[in-house]
Amino acid sequence: MDKLTTIQQVAASFQPGMTVMIGGFLAVGTPTGLVNALLDSGAGDLTIIGNDTAFPDSGVGVLVVNKRVKKAIVSHIGTNPETGRQMMAGEMQVELVPQGTLAERIRAAGAGLGGVLTPTGVGTIVEEGKEKLTVDGKEYLLEKPLKADLALLKAKKADKAGNLIYNKAARNFNPVMALAADLVVAEVEELVEVGQLDPDEVMTPGILVDKIIVSGEAK
pLDDT in tens, 43-79: 999 999 999 999 999 999 999 999 999 999 999 999 9
| Fold of domain 7-113+146-214 | Glutaconate Coenzyme A-transferase (3.40.1080)
Mean pLDDT value across the chain: 95
pLDDT in tens, 103-120: 999 999 999 999 999 999
pLDDT for residue 1: 64
pTM of the model: 0.94
pLDDT for residue 219: 46
Where are the domains positioned within the chain?
7-113+146-214
pLDDT in tens, 159-198: 999 999 999 999 999 999 999 999 999 999 999 999 999 9
Calculated CA dihedral for residues 156, 162, 164, 170, nearest 10 degrees: 60
pLDDT for residue 73: 98
pLDDT for residue 215: 87
What is the average pLDDT across 18-38?
A: 96
d(Cα 219, Cα 64) in Å, to the nearest integer?
20
User: How many other C-beta atoms can be found within 10 angstroms of the C-beta atom of residue 29?
Assistant: 24
pLDDT for residue 2: 81
CB contact burial 94-133 (16+ within 10 A = b; e otherwise): beebbeebbbbbbbbbbeeeebbebebbeeeebeeeeeee
